[in-house]
Amino acid sequence: MTTHQSVLKFGVAGAGVMGRNHARVLADIRDVELTHVFDPDAVTAEGVAAAYGAAAVTDAQAFVDAGLDAAVVATPNRTHADLTVALLEKGVHVLVEKPIAATVADARRMIDAAKANKRTLMVGQVERFNPAVDAVKRAIADEDVISIQITRVGPFPPRMGEVGVVIDLAVHDIDIIRHLTDSEVTEVQPQVVRTRAEREDTALLQFRLENGAIAHITTNWVTPYKVRTLQVATKNKFVVADLITRQVTEYFGQQPDGSYQTRAVNSWPAEPLKKELEAFAHAIRTGEPPAVTGEDGLRNLEVALRCLGE
């Protein structure tokens, strides 16, 4: 393989908060060119496209027909499946934002379309590329995980449309739990309430995994400030990570007198979204399975929907 790579022509569908972030990061990645931005709202599409020298598109079919190599789908959840399937059938590789789709049937349709058209389908579970999550994964590599505790709370986000905290926030943590344990969720014990919003805005979710580990997620939109913490207990150590500051600390060597040792675990300063998009481009170029597969997205969605009793 020569070092010179052909430039991948990318489009971004959905110019909301995430779509704008994707556009910004894509404009900064080597051997990738952002050529099209799609949003049904012309002013939004044109604003984002103009910032990066791309063409604005307001019609989904025109976006599908734009001659793209790859696309990021960051539109509302319920529109993920139709747009993704249309792109895959056109031969376009797709990175779809989490959750993969609104329903399990839709997710399966997307996975099938990727297989049938031999195209890469990756799901944007961006926390998997958070250097702190990576550092925790390395720290527990040879350990038996006993339990995982994740807190992901903060104020209500004004952008939220039709989903509650389980689909918007907990899907990140379901993925982190599956990623850190390399195991699947077998039991869910959800406690979910609606206090201020139309959809659930507070949830305490408990899980048991195939390998015997247990996990707990606390998530809400009622805490006035943002917290993103991850704690993993193993037979020999206890690892704590702040996913915002990316500080990771390992506690180990506990003695009968209660003393123990600690060490900071290095996590590299990298933007998770950039690592995610680079991993997607790498999967396209090599034909290797992407870091987060359609099946991963499906499993995460299935667990989230079980938490909602759906």
At residue 247, the pLDDT reads 96
Lookup result for tokens 């170029």: 285
3-state secondary structure of 297: helix
What domains can be seen in the chain, in order of their start residue? 8-119 (3.40.50.720), 128-270 (3.30.360.10)
Distance CA 91, CA 120 (A): 10
Per the prediction, the chain carries an average pLDDT of 95
Q: What are phi and psi of 256, to 5 degrees?
A: -55, -30
Query: Is pLDDT of 103 > 60?
Result: yes
pTM for the whole structure? 0.95
Query: Is pLDDT of 193 > 50?
Result: yes
Q: What is the pLDDT of residues 134-178, one digit of tens each?
A: 999 999 999 999 999 999 999 988 766 678 999 999 999 999 999
Query: Is pLDDT of 59 > 80?
Result: yes
Q: What is the pLDDT of residues 194-241, one digit of tens each?
A: 987 788 999 999 999 999 999 999 999 999 999 999 999 999 999 999
**Residue 269: pLDDT band with limits 50, 70, 90:** confident
Q: What is the pLDDT of residues 10-41, one digit of tens each?
A: 999 999 999 999 999 999 999 999 999 999 99
Helix %, strand %, coil % of the chain (to 5): 35, 30, 35
3-state secondary structure of 251: strand
At residue 181, the pLDDT reads 97
Per DSSP, 78 falls in state G
